Structure formats: C-alpha cells, structure tokens
Amino acid sequence: KESPDKEGISRYDQVFRNAVELKNRIEQHEDEALANREFQLYLQPKNRLADGALAGAEALVRWNSPKLGFLPPDSFIPLFEKNGFIVQLDFYMLKRVCQTYPMTVPGTGEALVVSMNFSRVTIMREGFIERLLHVVDSARIPHEAIEVEVTESAFVMDEDAVINKLETLKAMGFRLAMDDFGTGYSSLNLLRKLPIDVLKIDRGFLSENTDPSRSRSVLKGVLDMAGDLGLVTVCEGVETEEQASMLRELGCPVAQGYVFSKPLPEGEFRTRYGL
C-alpha cells in the first residue's frame, strides 16, 4: 500500500507527464493548425456603460483542433511564447482582423476599433513594426482602427526597448492599450512613461473575495487617476448588472465582459451587431 506522500508524488508525476505530453502534441501540430485554419478569430464587444452602445471589440484566439480538442488560449499561448510560434500566431490573427475590415458601426458610420493582443515576444522580434505596417497598409486599414494591447508583464525585461517600440507605433497613429492593469509590477510608474490611450483595468479589481467598500475605493482611485491622465478606461470581466452599475456610478466609460457578451466567433459577432 502506498503512503499518501508517494501517492502525492505519483499524482504529480502524472500531471507532469500529461503536461509534457500535451506540450509535445501541441508542438507537433502548430504548423499544420495554421495551414488548416484551426485557429479562429473570436471577437468580444466593449460597450459604453452609459447606454450600452458598441465601443470597440477585442480579438481573441481560439484553437479548434480536430486532434487536441477545443483549446483556450491559456493552454497554448505560454508554450508558443517559449518556442517562438506566437509571432506567427499573432500575425495570423492580425491578418484575420484585416480580412474582416471594415466593420462599420450602424448609426454612426464609423469603423469599429479592434484591439489585438501582441505578446512581448512578438513585439520584440526584429522587424515587428515593419511587418505590422506591411500587413495593415496592404489591407488599406487606417492605423487608428487598430489598438495594440500590451500587458504590464511585457515590460519585465528590456523596459526601455518595449517603450521604444510602443512610441513608434503611437507616432504612426496606432492606438495603444495597457492590458491587465493592476496585476503586474510597477504599474503606476509605467503609466507615467507610456504613450497609451486606453487603460484596461483587470477584472481582479471586481473580485468578490474582497471587502466591497475597499474594492470600490481602489477602483475609484484608479478611475480618477486615469481620467486625470486623459486615458479611456475599460473595465474587464464585468459579469453582473450590479458591477456594471457600480462602474457607471464611478464614471468608468467602457466595460467588457459577460454582462454584455462572451467572445463570439467573428461571423456571429458581425451578425449580432449588424456589422
């Protein structure tokens, strides 16, 4: 009979073996997946809190693999960042977004701004800016229609180099968003230095595990500061009507979350919003 310790270890071994197995399987299939169009473009709306109007969309990848099943990004993106495949994937997603353009918002006649996640690995890859320009310009898409989302963790190494790339993008007219604000390191210091337009407040700020009045104060502080800096704030992961109305009260202009819609396959998104 095995001791609990041994069982613990063998269970760990099992989990580890499964993880290695999955990693190997994913790596075996990534190129094929790209060729077979197994990576799919999903779009999630961002909505104005005042009236619910569509304010933009975020592009999110899904991997629908006949061999591995339907995989969420968290199960393959960290691996792709390690093996470098993320660069191809991020550019594939950019091309897919370009193919869906223009999406004209009914009533306003304006093009919907689509925000895209670019890994720091992609941003730091040599020729990133040139390649991005090439894709966007050959599709004749105005730079203002693309918003580049970067997470705070992108700055952990080579902070100055990353800032430099973002300044170049900004000067070219692309919009910039700081993603997952409040989860990383030295956020406030970065805000001072970065030429960003949008601050995406992580859904951790809405956590139900914390004292509601304290959460509210922290949120209010962040929203006031962002407002003073002239940034548009988008609160992420808004799931309930109560959260939406609190944010509305605190003056947050835009929200993204299940309370409005889950991320939808690109075609479904367009149908739903008449784009």
Name the site residues for Ca ion (rule: CB under 5 A): 117, 149, 179-180, 236
Q: Binder to ligand C2E among 55, 60, 113, 250 (CB under 6 A)?
A: 60
Q: Binder to ligand C2E among 23, 40, 48, 73 (CB under 6 A)?
A: 73
What ranges in 101-211 are assigned the alpha helix state H?
120-124, 128-138, 159-171, 187-193
Site of tokens 């990693």: 23
Q: Binder to ligand C2E among 57, 77, 247, 255 (CB under 6 A)?
A: 77
Contact flag: residue 180 with ligand C2E (CB under 6 A): yes
User: 21 vs 8, 84, 85, CA distance in Å?
Assistant: 20, 19, 18
What ranges in the chain are assigned the alpha helix state H?
4-35, 77-83, 85-100, 120-124, 128-138, 159-171, 187-193, 212-228, 241-249, 266-273
Contact flag: residue 201 with ligand C2E (CB under 6 A): no
Site string for ligand C2E, 122-141 (x = CB under 6 A): --------------------
Closest CA to 235 of 212, 213, 202, 188: 202
Q: Binder to ligand C2E among 263, 264, 266, 275 (CB under 6 A)?
A: 263
Chain-centre distance for alpha carbon 67: 26
Of the pair 118, 205, the CB lying nearest ligand C2E is at: 118
Q: Binder to ligand C2E among 54, 86, 132, 136 (CB under 6 A)?
A: 86
Contact 162, 150 (CB under 8 A): yes
> Smallest gap, in angstroms, from Cβ of residue 46 to Ca ion?
11
Beta pairing partners, 15? none
Q: Could you tell me how many residues of this chain bind ligand C2E (CB under 6 A)?
A: 23
| Residues in 223-252 that interact with ligand C2E by CB under 6 A | 236-239
Find which of Ca ion, ligand C2E, none residue 239 binds, CB within 5 to 8 Å per kind: ligand C2E
How far, in Å, CA of 22 to CA of 260, rounded? Answer: 34
> Smallest gap, in angstroms, from Cβ of residue 89 to ligand C2E?
6
Find which of Ca ion, ligand C2E, none residue 263 binds, CB within 5 to 8 Å per kind: ligand C2E
Contact flag: residue 71 with ligand C2E (CB under 6 A): no
> Smallest gap, in angstroms, from Cβ of residue 177 to Ca ion?
8
User: 60 vs 20, 69, 100, CA distance in Å?
Assistant: 25, 17, 14
How far, in Å, CA of 13 to CA of 18, rounded? Answer: 8
What 3-state class would DSSP assign to 176?
A: strand
Contact residues for ligand C2E (CB under 6 A)?
Answer: 44, 60-61, 72-74, 77, 86, 90, 93, 117-119, 179-180, 236-239, 256-258, 263
